[in-house]
Amino acid sequence: MLKTIHSAIFPLLCGGIVSFYSCTTTKAVADNDSQDISLKEAFKDKFYMGTTLNAWQLMGRRPEELNIAKTQFNSIVAENIMKSGRVQPKEGEFDFTLADKFVEFGEQNDMHIHGHTLIWHSQAPRWFFTDNAGDLVSKEVLTERMKTHIFTVVGRYKGRVASWDVVNEAIEDDGSYRQSNFYKILGEDFIKLAFKFAHQADPEAKLYYNDYSMANPRKRNGVVKMVEELRREGIHIDGIGMQGHVGLNNPDLEEFDKSLEAYGKLGKIMITELELSVLPSPWGDAGAELSDTYTYDDKMNPFPNGLPDDVQQQFTHRFIDFFKLFLKHKDNITRVNLWGINDGNSWKNNWPVRGRTDYPLLFDRENNAKPVVEKLIELAK
Ligand code: GLA
């Protein structure tokens, strides 16, 4: 399988389009590529191997990427097209054009389909929280809007989308509740209501709470406390999503392990948005607070023309270390999902600094499997 992707592209690649570094890296895959099984086959007894799909891919503009999704992965999640701002841009006006295509793609390819995300303060339309005068709406109005949104979206895909990120990013890194508009209007109840509505809309769907920096001890404590509280109140929640926007040095693997342990005691775990940035981080931590952005500076973009082999090796080792942890906790993990298919389409090229060249995913910019892919397949054995 990997050989097929590679042999179609390798001759083109080393014809001079890409840098020396990428060519040596790709060659290493060619020489060692004796594998004939895919990532999804290698991990099939452990957990789903998932990837993200975006609008361009679903509109047919990136057929090679879609092909990788089909051949290497058995689970999909929408990168943006199921967020509230996309499916309900105006109150009561739903647009499911791309979301329908996404779900159909998963069904046609016999994939597990994960829905992302129902209730999130970011990429939500303004109208959700405000009245005609622009003031925050009452508890009753917001509850009704949440109910309509969740019932319409989850209801449309009932029995087809297997699991949902019901609430995204409600806890701050210090473990306190984020002061989002949802929280300002409804307090902690917004989380309970969201899970209650999602469960009513599709009682069979698996329901998750999803967040970033989940290996941070203070955040871990906050999330554990919140989930225990939901359980005490009889709210249905199946598990926790650890986003997994990680870097070469952060987070600490021991802390990641402790979080897997702690969340595993509460339910199932999904590694929901995995990618491994090789670039320096402006604040030295791996997170995904979208409002934190930094101005471009050459020092922050060390590999514009290709990834040096030593960094590629660090990347491979670190990826393997994470997967060793996932395998250790495989009984609690239901899905490990890459946040994108190839390096060229990763959001990390533009966040937290715009215009950089990052290498965070399993396939390079020409859709070749990186050396790490074969190593992961070997590890799964
Ligand atoms: C967060 C969200 C994702 C996505 C990433 C950036 O992690 O959960 O949907 O927006 O940020 O791509």
Q: Assess whether 75 and 26 both reside in one domain.
A: no
For this structure, is 65 an active site residue? no
341 C-beta closer than 6 A to ligand 1 = no
Backbone angles phi, psi at 335, to 5 degrees: -155, 140
Q: Assess whether 128 and 17 both reside in one domain.
A: no
Catalytic residue selected from 79, 91, 140, 169 = 169
Best probe residue, ligand 1, of 211, 273, 274 (max atoms within 8 Å of C-beta): 273
Q: Assess whether 1 and 69 both reside in one domain.
A: no
Supply the range of the domain harboring residue 23: 1-34
Backbone angles phi, psi at 254, to 5 degrees: -65, -40
- Residue 212 CA: which ligand 1 atom is closest? 7
Give the total number of structural domains in the chain. Answer: 2
Q: Assess whether 5 and 43 both reside in one domain.
A: no
Q: Assess whether 29 and 77 both reside in one domain.
A: no
For this structure, is 169 an active site residue? yes
Report CA(115)–ligand 1 centroid distance (Å): 13
Of 185, 146, 144, nearest in space to 167 by CA = 146
- Residue-wise pLDDT for 28-80, tens only, equals 333 344 457 999 999 999 999 999 999 999 999 999 999 999 999 999 999 99
Q: Assess whether 375 and 295 both reside in one domain.
A: yes
Q: Give the span between the Cα atoms of 149 and 82, in whole angstroms.
A: 11
Residue 299, domain CATH? 3.20.20.80
Q: Assess whether 94 and 140 both reside in one domain.
A: yes
Element (H, E) at 268: strand 268-277
Q: Which parts of the chain have pLDDT scores under 70?
A: 1-35, 284-288, 290
Say which residues have a Cβ less than 8 Å from residue 136's Cβ, sequence separation at least 6: 129, 130, 181, 184, 185
84 C-beta closer than 6 A to ligand 1 = no
Q: Tell me, what's the pLDDT at 1?
A: 42
Q: Assess whether 295 and 262 both reside in one domain.
A: yes
For residue 323 the two structure tokens come to 């997967």
Q: Assess whether 189 and 313 both reside in one domain.
A: yes
Q: Give the span between the Cα atoms of 239 and 211, in whole angstroms.
A: 12
Q: Assess whether 23 and 170 both reside in one domain.
A: no
Q: Assess whether 355 and 236 both reside in one domain.
A: yes
43 C-beta closer than 6 A to ligand 1 = no
Q: Tell me, what's the pLDDT at 288?
A: 63
Q: Tell me, what's the pLDDT at 292?
A: 72
Distance of CA 333 to the CA centre of its chain: 15
Q: Any idea which residue has 């990136």 for tokens?
A: 62
212 C-beta closer than 6 A to ligand 1 = yes
Contact 80, 123 (CB under 8 A): yes
Contact 10, 22 (CB under 8 A): no
Q: Tell me, what's the pLDDT at 287?
A: 64
Q: What DSSP line would sit under 39-93, residue for residue? A: HHHHTTTT-EEEEEE-HHHHTTS-HHHHHHHHHH-SEEEESSTTSHHHH-SBTTB
Q: Assess whether 99 and 5 both reside in one domain.
A: no
